[in-house]
Amino acid sequence: MGDVLAHESELLGLVKEYLDFAEFEDTLKTFSKECKIKGKPLSKTAGGSLRDSRSLIIQKDLVAAFDNGDQKVFFDLWEEHIPSSIRDRDSLAQKLEFYLHIHFAIYLLKHSLGRPDKEDLDERISYFKTYLETKGAALSQTTEFLPFYALPFVPNPMVHPSFKELFQDSWTPELKLKLEKFLALIFKASNTPKLLTLYKENRQSHKEVSQQLHQQLIEAERRSMTYLKRYNKIQADYHNLIGVTAELVDSLEATVSGKMITPEYLQSVCVRLFSDQMRQSLAHSVDFTRPGTASTMLRASLAPGKLKDVPLLPSLDYEKLKKDLIWGSDRLKAFLLQALRWRLTTSHPGEQRETVLEAYVGNDLLDCHSHSQRSVLQLLQSRSEVVRQYMARLVNAFASLAEGRLYLAQSTKVLQMLEERLKEEDEDIVTRENVLGALQKFSLRRPLQTAMIRDGLIFWLIDILKDPDCLSDYTLEYSVALLMNLCLRSAGKNMCAKVAGPVLKVLSDLLGHENHEIQPYVNGALYSILSIPSIREEARAMGMEDILRCFIKEGNAEMVRQIEFIIKQLNSEELLDGVLESDDDEDEDDEEDHDTMEADLDKDELIQPQLGELSGEKLLTTEYLGIMTNTGKARRKGLASVQQSADEPLRRPITPGGHRTGYPV
């Protein structure tokens, strides 16, 4: 009781302040009267009066800037003191802000005695135009505001009938009255009583704990996703290894009858291929002298167990999705692009992933076939760095799948926009990596190869590869792999012949680069362009054979064999490339159904959801659930693989992901 009495005056003052704030007028009178009767002192809260005086000053400054046409001062104050949650979400605030922009855009036309200063007027009109293209774009579908989108393009708005009301004497005073009412309402709401502040602060600690738990959950889900992808990759590598080993064992077993290799040696080789748990039992129970035994056991190890049915993911409302991707806030766009990408990258390979991609393609998710002025594809040119990057990641995910490449290849504007983004993007390394990754995968298709060669992409690649140490590993690997794919075409070789010296210098420097992942592509590019006599001449003049022989001394066995092929090509006197290729047939594709989803697509995410904010599959299935329309569809068969010895340089287009997972080339 003593503690209460010690702080009674202050507590009663807090109650009085809150009742006054909430406009409980009768209750406040009764409360004050009863306090007086009981002799209870009521303290005056100093904070409220200080806040009131400061709010009045801000309101006066805003109104003064409105009257004086001082656009910069007004909107600086507006953005500083009007909460972004109100500016971005409150329809009344959005409409008022739209008309305020009009007020400042035409201010000189209404208040200048003579002709307004052209430079100042142009600057105001330009500022208004920028607003219409960015934040004001959200109101472009509203009939009330639609005519004003033409205002920046009308030479003399004062005489135009659509803008007649703007130049009436009553328009500005009416707008000013709306502004004053709005400011009074906002600043009254912002004068939070101390009782409410104490309540919020008490909850803050609980909120922080919840946020920490929420972040831990997100991190756990991200790690789980990464581990799942690693497991799928290891499983694919295991299947490739066992499949190849089975073929090898078949060949080795065939030599047993010819006394070329002993069964004991064959047994030791095969046993080493199995896991530790299987070695002992196999070594004692399998008769390796019987033809077909080892390879049968190897293939049996690949026999799948009883697989669980993988459910199809729920259908989505793609119309609503695309609308929000075009007109939503940048943060919403980023979360949607991330969620749509995760649907592809984390879905199970097979029917589940194919159904996701079929739905994306069937609903033209990226607007590849759209002819409207605004499309999802234009997010590649967004002013937001996060939106640009996440759009590039999604396009790269599409390009990682054969059906996705087919969809993207049907629109010429996709390739054009990617090439522009590649050459212009200098702020975000990850955006450029994903654009480059998508283009490299595009180079599996002949028509796209032709377009990239025609657009001079080879020259751009040679230019950035002059300084490989400045490039990330991903950029370096995919740049060299793209260069090789383009150099496999006659048109690409002829393009290289125009800059033979720089091309050979870049490739010879890359031979000794510490990143050994690029060596197959460097070798493939060299072997291919050396089929051109003029390039061979240039290579001999610069002592290319001596350079290559230096690497024979240092390289591994596979590298040595490939370089020997390149030296043989260098010393050839053939006028034409001996490799069979149908360069003139644009309908033939080098594509072999390469479907490789890289872990890099989901690395280093830029955005994390706040408490209560939806993301990923939860966002899609909560806000964008559609009618179930998933139907099975026959998968397009890839072209037959063209087998090639591993000793030779690469002679058919491939992606780094496909090369690592062992696609036949």
Q: What percent of the chain has pLDDT over 70?
A: 77
CA dihedral (385, 390, 391, 393) positive or negative? positive
Our CA dihedral for 611, 616, 622, 625, rounded to 10 degrees, sits at 170
pLDDT of residue 645: 53
Flag whether 241 is in a domain.
yes
622 token code pair: 């909560």
Same domain, residue pair 129 and 209: no
DSSP string of 337-395, one letter each residue: HHHHHHHHHHSPTTHHHHHHHHHHHHTTTT-TT--SSS-GGGGGG-S-HHHHHHHHHHH
Same domain, residue pair 327 and 451: yes
Kindly state the average pLDDT of the residues 356-381: 90
**Could you tell me which residues come within 8 angstroms of residue 400 by beta carbon, excluding any fewer than 6 positions away?**
344, 441, 595, 596, 597, 598, 601, 657
Flag whether 248 is in a domain.
yes
611 token code pair: 């408490």
Same domain, residue pair 223 and 146: no
Identify the residue with better confidence: 379 or 639.
379
Same domain, residue pair 373 and 387: yes
Give 316's strand partners. Answer: 625
pLDDT tens per residue, range 404-454:
999 999 888 999 999 999 888 776 688 999 999 999 999 988 999 999 999
Task: Indicate the DSSP class of residue 316.
Answer: B
Angle between helix axes 412-424 and 429-442 (nearest 10 degrees) is 140
Kindly state the average pLDDT of the residues 121-144: 86
- What gap in Å lies between CA 47 and CA 262, rounded to an integer? 95
pTM: 0.56
pLDDT tens per residue, range 589-638:
544 556 778 877 888 888 988 888 899 999 999 999 887 655 544 444 44
Flag whether 554 is in a domain.
no
The region of weakest confidence among 137-141, 190-194, 593-597 is 190-194
In whole angstroms, how far apart are CA 521 and each of 29, 199, 646?
A: 86, 64, 13
Flag whether 126 is in a domain.
yes
Identify the residue with better confidence: 222 or 316.
316
Residue 306 identity (one-letter amino acid): K
Is 303 exposed, middle or buried (CB count within 10 Å of its CB: 0-12, 13-18, 19+)?
Answer: exposed
- What gap in Å lies between CA 109 and CA 103, rounded to an integer? 10
Flag whether 610 is in a domain.
no
Question: Which residue, 144, 171, 192, sits at the end of a domain?
Answer: 192
Residue 327 predicted with pLDDT over 90: yes
Backbone angles phi, psi at 294, to 5 degrees: -65, -45
Residue 136 identity (one-letter amino acid): G
pLDDT of residue 646: 52
pLDDT of residue 155: 83
Identify the residue with better confidence: 270 or 177.
177
User: Which of 357-385 are b and which e, b meaning 16 or more Cβ less than 10 Å from the residue's Cβ?
Assistant: bbbbbebbbbbbebeeeebbbbbbebeeb
CB under 8 A, 24+ apart: contacts of 470-474: 472/429, 472/433, 473/515, 473/517, 474/433, 474/436, 474/437, 474/600
Flag whether 347 is in a domain.
yes
Indicate the pLDDT class of residue 517, thresholds 50, 70 and 90: confident
pLDDT tens per residue, range 467-494:
988 888 889 999 999 999 999 999 999 9
Residue 231 identity (one-letter amino acid): Y
Same domain, residue pair 201 and 163: no
pLDDT of residue 428: 64
Query: Can you say how many angstroms the Cα of residue 574 is from the centroid of all Cα atoms in its chain?
Result: 46
Cα atoms in the Cβ-side hemisphere of radius 13 Å centred on 110:
20
Same domain, residue pair 230 and 171: no
User: Which of 217-232 are b and which e, b meaning 16 or more Cβ less than 10 Å from the residue's Cβ?
Assistant: eeeeeeeebeeebeee
Residue 465 identity (one-letter amino acid): L
Question: Which residue, 242, 270, 302, sits at the end of a domain?
Answer: 302
The region of weakest confidence among 189-198, 321-330, 569-578 is 189-198
Q: Are 388 and 382 in contact (CB under 8 A)?
A: yes
Q: Are 245 and 300 in contact (CB under 8 A)?
A: no
Same domain, residue pair 36 and 7: yes
Identify the residue with better confidence: 211 or 512.
512
Same domain, residue pair 173 and 257: no
In whole angstroms, how far apart are CA 525 and each of 47, 135, 506, 594?
A: 74, 48, 11, 20
Q: Are 267 and 283 in contact (CB under 8 A)?
A: yes
Nearest to 275 by CA among 229, 227, 238: 238
* Residue 332 belongs to domain spanning: 315-455
**Could you tell me which residues come within 8 angstroms of residue 257 by beta carbon, excluding any fewer than 6 positions away?**
291
Indicate the pLDDT class of residue 581, thresholds 50, 70 and 90: very low
Cα atoms in the Cβ-side hemisphere of radius 13 Å centred on 471:
24
pLDDT tens per residue, range 259-318:
565 555 455 545 445 544 444 444 444 454 455 555 565 555 555 544 456 788 888 999
Count of domains observed in the chain = 4
The region of weakest confidence among 48-62, 346-360, 370-384 is 48-62
pLDDT of residue 144: 84
pLDDT of residue 303: 53
CA dihedral (184, 190, 195, 199) positive or negative? positive
Flag whether 485 is in a domain.
no
pLDDT of residue 358: 93
pLDDT of residue 379: 93
Kindly state the average pLDDT of the residues 128-133: 89
Same domain, residue pair 204 and 144: no
User: What CATH number does the domain containing 369 carry?
Assistant: 1.25.10.10
Question: Which residue, 302, 326, 353, sits at the end of a domain?
Answer: 302
- Supply the mean pLDDT for the chain: 80
Same domain, residue pair 204 and 327: no
Flag whether 351 is in a domain.
yes
229 token code pair: 């992808």
Same domain, residue pair 209 and 282: yes
pLDDT of residue 148: 87
pLDDT of residue 579: 42
The helix/strand/coil state of 404 is helix
- What gap in Å lies between CA 96 and CA 87, rounded to an integer? 10
Q: What percent of the chain has pLDDT over 90?
A: 31
Nearest to 487 by CA among 579, 549, 417, 404: 579
For residue 656, the surrounding DSSP H or E stretch is: helix 656-660
pLDDT of residue 525: 92
Residue 115 predicted with pLDDT over 70: yes
Same domain, residue pair 139 and 219: no
**Could you tell me which residues come within 8 angstroms of residue 573 by beta carbon, excluding any fewer than 6 positions away?**
none
Kindly state the average pLDDT of the residues 79-107: 88
pLDDT tens per residue, range 1-31:
455 555 677 788 778 877 877 778 888 888 8
